[in-house]
């Protein structure tokens, strides 16, 4: 069955961390659009520093988070033309591109030449748009020029330097205008919105002015959708940013990832408003590019349990879910993405290779059989309520989504043979969370939920003549 259409409110997103523009475009066309994933978060598209490794080897991924200018001309992921073509291709396939917007700061210590050839020093970014019309100098930074030391002092967190990165003085309207010009340039290309990097380090009033005054998104219409990156705490709570858009919910991330890791998921049907964020305000994820490196609770390295958690996140109504796909970094948290090597004459240095999901070098979690069909489940479920149907009180949980979906999650090492009531109409359904089919008859469904696996049935996955799994009668 075709994937149902989604509105931005029931979107399922994928973070294609470090994928190059051509590979993102291909994924929108080949997989994301056809499978109902309606948004893709891409890595920062602006010119970035190029950090040489004294010992050779790959350039670190975090180069991207040190902007040299707002030019899109040349990053390790491709050209401005390739970026624009990606946005168009994704839009034509019903997928919004969300850009990781680095607006809190520019570069760290030192000086050099950026990926598009622009010279820089920590407090000197001489040509922001490549046309000589705008620059940042010493006075455009601050008011604090020291690294954040006391994270319990909101003034410091918002005005001083995150890991020593030159902090833009967003109190200055001229600085905000440069940022808006960058963001509007992206919106005019069809970018659907932003993940705002380090948002909690930008005072709320400045966020309100910048993101409240952007252009309308061509094609999709409406104002850009914005997700603020906030690690909420007592000093800067998540809710401080909720008036301006959605907020990344690391409290959800820690709790849900931890419970799947521990096999203790039975209580997850009914969730609190994690961190004080309502479902509408929260962006949720099992991991992201930071947590998988710095605080790995549950990541691609954990295999089945991780995919099970991602499928659960997509089935549960709380928040806007983001599935994370990137590359295998082994034990090296600074390791850059798979690369074609050093490109002679190209200031971007090492150039990211095209993604290949079949080699193991890239991690394509959204394509895993447990996850791939779950955006369609979410779209089918729409805004229906969750009704708990079964649990073993520990590692197993099953629920309905209104009369539109039924899902069962088994975070144990043994098969779960379950017969349950369900509101799903009588019929035979493909399992959106893996293989096989299941039949609902007389308001009851019988399923075998694999160890560390799931069964997810939804109304748009009803199969009559085209059941994907083996025919239960003949075994063919
Ligand atoms: C080092 C020292 C500093 C010193 C500085 C001197 O640590 O003490 O002052 O040198 O220049 C890199 C290096 C880091 C270095 C810094 C500046 O790793 O050691 O500082 O550059 O040269 C990513 C990486 C960082 C990287 C940064 C910039 O994770 O390691 O720093 O990019 O290249 C908090 C925040 C939250 C943040 C999270 C990680 O509230 O906003 O920490 N998350 C986002 C992104 C994250 C990104 C940034 C913010 C910064 O998701 O990936 O950091 O843009 O929770």
Q: Minimum mean pLDDT among 106-120, 131-145, 329-343: which range? A: 329-343
For residues 393 and 312, give the distance between their C-alpha atoms in angstroms, rounded to a whole number: 17
Pocket test for ligand 1, best of 98, 102, 163 (most atoms within 8 A of CB): 163
Q: What is the pLDDT of residues 433-445, one digit of tens each?
A: 998 999 999 999 9
Q: What is the reported pLDDT for 6? A: 41
54 vs 359: CA distance, rounded Å: 28
Beta bridge pairs of residue 438: 429
Q: How many CB atoms lie within 10 A of CB 392?
A: 14
Provide the number of structural domains found in the chain. Answer: 2
Residue pair 325/363 in contact (Cβ under 8 Å)? The answer is yes
Task: Give the Cα separation of 65 and 137 in Å (integer).
Answer: 19
pLDDT at 62 over 50: yes
- Enter the tokens of residue 182: 């960058």
Confidence of residue 344 (pLDDT cuts 50, 70, 90): confident
**Per-residue pLDDT at 210:** 98
**Do residues 347 and 114 touch, judged by C-beta distance below 8 A?**
yes
**Residue where one domain finishes, among candidates 330, 361, 380:** 380
> Which domain CATH number covers 452?
2.60.40.1180
pLDDT greater than 60 at residue 301: yes
Q: Let me know whether 81 and 119 are in one domain.
A: yes
Among the ranges given (158-167, 180-189, 294-303, 467-476), the one the predictor scored with the smallest mean pLDDT = 467-476
Asked if the structure places residue 34 within a domain, the reply is yes
Q: What is the DSSP string of 109-151?
A: SSEEE-TTS-EEETTBB--SSSSSS--B-GGGB-S--SB---T
Least confident segment among 221-225, 448-452, 466-470: 466-470
**pLDDT at residue 23 tops 80:** yes
Phi/psi for 405 (5° steps) reads -155, 150
Residue 18, domain CATH: 3.20.20.80
Residue ending a domain, among 319, 345, 380, is 380
Residue 475: the pLDDT is 35
The CA angle 324-330-332, to the nearest 5 degrees, is: 100
Q: Which of 65, 112, 160, 247 to mutate to test the pocket of ligand 1 (most atoms within 8 A of CB)?
A: 65
Residues 166 and 305 occupy one common structural domain: yes
Dist CA 348 CA 267 (whole Å): 48
CA distances from 288 to 40, 50, 174 (A): 13, 23, 33
> CA angle 46-51-57, nearest 5°?
120
Indicate whether 434 belongs to any domain. yes
Which tens digit of pLDDT belongs to each residue from 130-171? 999 999 999 999 999 999 999 999 999 999 999 999 999 999
Q: Could you tell me the residue range of the domain that residue 89 belongs to?
A: 8-380
pLDDT for 349: 87
Q: ipTM exceeding 0.95?
A: yes
Residues 399 and 306 in one domain: no
337 and 392: one domain?
no
Task: Assess if residue 469 is contained within a domain.
Answer: no
pLDDT surpasses 50 at 476: no
Query: 3 lies in a domain?
Result: no
Contact 244, 281 (CB under 8 A): no
Annotated active-site residue 229? The verdict is yes
For residue 186, being part of any structural domain is answered with yes
Instruction: Report whether residue 198 contacts ligand 1, using a CB cutoff of 6 Å.
Output: yes
Percent of the chain with pLDDT over 90: 90
Mean pLDDT of 370-397: 97
Instruction: Work out the widest C-alpha separation in the chain, in whole angstroms.
Output: 76
pLDDT, position 170: 98
Domain termination residue (choose one: 380, 406, 437) = 380
- Per-residue pLDDT, averaged over 459-465, amounts to 88
Radius of gyration of the chain (CA): 23
pLDDT in tens, 393-405: 999 999 999 999 9
Tokens 């779209």: give the residue. Answer: 379
Q: Which two tokens stand for residue 375?
A: 């955006």
Query: Which of these, 459, 424, 416, 456, lies nearest to 442 by C-alpha position?
Result: 424
Are residues 1 and 404 in contact, defined by beta-carbon separation less than 8 angstroms? no
Which residue has the CA at smallest separation from atom 54 of ligand 1?
65
pLDDT in tens, 175-187: 999 999 999 999 9
CA distances from 293 to 62, 119, 287 (A): 12, 30, 9
Active site residue 188: no
Could you give phi then psi for residue 208, rounded to 5 degrees?
A: -60, -40
Residues 119 and 164 in one domain: yes
197 pocket-lining for ligand 1 (C-beta < 6 Å): yes
Q: Do residue 367 and residue 406 come from a single domain?
A: no
> What is the residue-averaged pLDDT of the chain?
94
Residue with tokens 């609770």: 297
Residues 34 and 65 in one domain: yes
pLDDT category of residue 8 using cuts at 50, 70 and 90: low
Model pLDDT for residues 206-244, shown as the tens digit of each residue: 999 999 999 999 988 899 999 999 999 999 999 999 999
User: Which of 6 and 251 is assigned the larger pLDDT?
Assistant: 251
Q: Ligand 1 centre from 404 Cα, in Å?
A: 44
For the cut 70, the answer to whether the pLDDT of residue 473 exceeds it is: no
The answer to whether the beta carbons of residues 376 and 406 sit under 8 Å apart is no
Q: Which residue has the tokens 């030019």?
A: 71
| pLDDT value of position 221 | 81
Instruction: Report the C-alpha gap between 216 and 227 in whole angstroms.
Output: 17
Question: 161 C-alpha vs ligand 1 centroid, how far in Å?
Answer: 10
In this prediction, residues 291-301 reach a mean pLDDT of: 97
Residues 363-380, mean pLDDT to the nearest whole number: 97
Residue 52: is its pLDDT beyond 60? yes
Mark whether 393 and 362 lie in a shared domain: no
What distance in Å separates the CA atoms of residue 381 and residue 16, rounded to the nearest whole number?
Answer: 25
**Is 93 part of any domain?**
yes
How high is the pLDDT of residue 467?
Answer: 73
Q: How far is the CA of 399 from the centre of ligand 1 (A)?
A: 41
Give kind and range of the element (H or E) at residue 100. strand 96-102
Confidence band for 1, pLDDT divided at 50, 70 and 90: very low
Q: Which helix (H) or strand (E) holds 399?
A: strand 396-401
Dihedral, 261, 265, 267, 271 alpha carbons, nearest 10: 70
471 assigned to some structural domain: no
Before 143, cis peptide (omega within 30)? yes
Q: Is 112 in the pocket of ligand 1 (CB under 6 A)?
A: no
Residues 129 and 182 in one domain: yes
Residues 254 and 119 in one domain: yes
What does the pLDDT read at residue 119? 97
pLDDT tens per residue, range 187-205: 999 999 999 999 999 999 9
SS3 state at 272: coil
Are residues 71 and 47 in contact, defined by beta-carbon separation less than 8 angstroms? Answer: yes
- Domain-embedded: residue 391: yes
User: Are 74 and 198 in the same domain?
Assistant: yes
Residues 19 and 43 placed together within one structural domain of the fold: yes
Question: What CA dihedral angle connects 88, 92, 98 and 102, to 10 degrees?
Answer: 0
């Amino acid at each position: 069955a075709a994937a149902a259409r989604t509105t931005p409110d029931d979107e399922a997103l994928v973070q294609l961390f470090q994928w190059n523009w051509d590979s993102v475009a291909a994924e929108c066309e080949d997989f994301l659009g056809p499978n109902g994933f309606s948004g893709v978060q891409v890595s920062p598209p602006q010119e970035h520093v190029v950090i040489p490794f004294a010992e050779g080897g790959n350039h670190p991924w975090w180069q991207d988070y040190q902007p040299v200018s707002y030019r899109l001309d040349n990053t390790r992921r491709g050209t401005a033309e390739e970026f624009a073509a990606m946005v168009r291709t994704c839009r034509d396939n019903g997928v919004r591109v969300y850009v990781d917007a680095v607006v809190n700061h520019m570069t760290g210590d030192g000086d050099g030449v950026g990926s598009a050839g622009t010279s820089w020093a920590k407090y000197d970014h001489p040509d922001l748009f490549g046309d000589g019309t705008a620059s940042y100098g010493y006075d455009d930074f601050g008011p604090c020029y020291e690294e954040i030391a006391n994270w319990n002092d909101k003034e410091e967190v918002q005005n001083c330097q995150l890991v020593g990165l030159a902090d833009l003085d967003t109190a200055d309207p001229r600085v905000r205008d440069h940022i808006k010009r960058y963001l509007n340039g992206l919106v005019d290309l069809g970018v659907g919105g932003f993940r705002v990097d380090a948002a909690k380090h930008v005072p709320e009033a400045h966020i309100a002015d910048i993101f409240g005054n952007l252009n309308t998104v061509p094609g999709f219409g409406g104002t850009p959708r914005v997700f603020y990156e906030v690690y909420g705490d007592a000093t800067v709570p998540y809710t401080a940013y909720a008036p301006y858009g959605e907020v990344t919910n690391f409290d959800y991330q820690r709790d849900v990832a931890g419970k799947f890791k521990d096999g203790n998921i039975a209580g997850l049907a009914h969730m609190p408003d994690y961190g004080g964020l309502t479902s509408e305000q929260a962006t949720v994820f099992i991991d992201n590019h930071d947590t998988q490196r710095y605080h790995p609770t549950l990541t691609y390295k954990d295999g089945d349990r991780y995919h099970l958690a991602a499928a659960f996140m997509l089935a549960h109504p709380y928040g806007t879910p983001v599935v994370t796909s990137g590359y295998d970094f082994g034990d090296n948290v600074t390791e850059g993405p798979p690369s074609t090597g050093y490109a002679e004459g190209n200031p971007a240095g090492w150039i990211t290779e095209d993604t290949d999901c079949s080699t193991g070098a890239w991690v394509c979690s959204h394509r895993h059989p447990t996850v791939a069909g779950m955006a369609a489940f979410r779209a089918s479920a729409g805004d229906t309520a969750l009704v708990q149907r079964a649990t073993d009180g520990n590692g197993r949980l099953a629920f309905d989504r209104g009369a539109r979906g039924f899902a069962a999650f088994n975070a144990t090492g043994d098969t779960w043979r379950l017969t349950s009531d369900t509101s799903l109409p009588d019929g035979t359904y493909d399992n959106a969370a893996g293989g096989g089919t299941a039949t609902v008859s007389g308001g009851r469904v019988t399923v075998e939920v694999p160890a560390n696996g799931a069964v997810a049935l939804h109304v748009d996955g009803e199969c009559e003549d085209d059941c994907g799994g083996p025919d239960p009668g003949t075994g063919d």
